[in-house]
Amino acid sequence: MRKSGPPRGLISYIVLELLEEKPRYGYEILKEITDISGGHWEPSYGSVYPILYKFEEEGYAERIEREDEPDRKYFALTDEGHGHLAEKRSEVGGKARDFADVILGFYHMYVAFATDDRFHVDPSDDDWCFDGEYSGWIAEQVIRHHERDFGEFERVPDTPEEFHARRGDADAPGNEDEDDRTEDDGVDGTRAEETAADGGTDA
């Protein structure tokens, strides 16, 4: 069970990968992350830019000048940055369970708002609402993306315990790690805490 939002270090990892692809400026990185998320998540300006500046201070990135865009602050990955990216890849590789907890946790909350009598949320001004039809649409989108990238979807009959036992996972449901510290995010995925006292960013 997670105690907060998206895993610590996620944005800094994505920034490193995008800078390895090519030099970029902050707003470009924000838009690229939004595209990767299918348009469902955009980090705040207050998260990406401090990461870029921190990478610059630590020697992981450097500013480069572009004659065609002299007013934009482009950043490129340094040799040290490539080494740091290798470390981040290993770190984020162990976050798959955290990602699943975020996805499932917010979906459970969505369904609770639709079905739990303790909640009485007002209707939205747009077309969205908390009900079975929209819940089905969300599930449909997940299945479509699964089939696009992994092939035909097949139902998994296992309980969570059975699934983790079959996969040989040590991190089965119920095995909570009290030392797993993550940063708290708002529901919209922004990270004001990226600039807070504990190091300034999650870099």
Residue 117 to residues 94, 105, 114, 134, Cα–Cα distance (Å): 37, 19, 8, 18
* pLDDT single digits (tens) 41-84: 888 888 899 999 999 999 999 999 887 877 888 999 999 999 99
Whole-structure pTM value: 0.76
Domains and CATH numbers, the chain: 10-94 (1.10.10.10), 96-167 (no CATH)
Taking the alpha carbons at both ends of the chain, their separation in whole angstroms is 24
- Quickly state the pLDDT bin for 193 (edges 50, 70, 90): very low
H helix runs in 59-159, sequence order: 79-93, 96-115, 132-150
* pLDDT single digits (tens) 122-169: 888 888 899 999 999 999 999 999 999 999 999 999 998 899 899 888
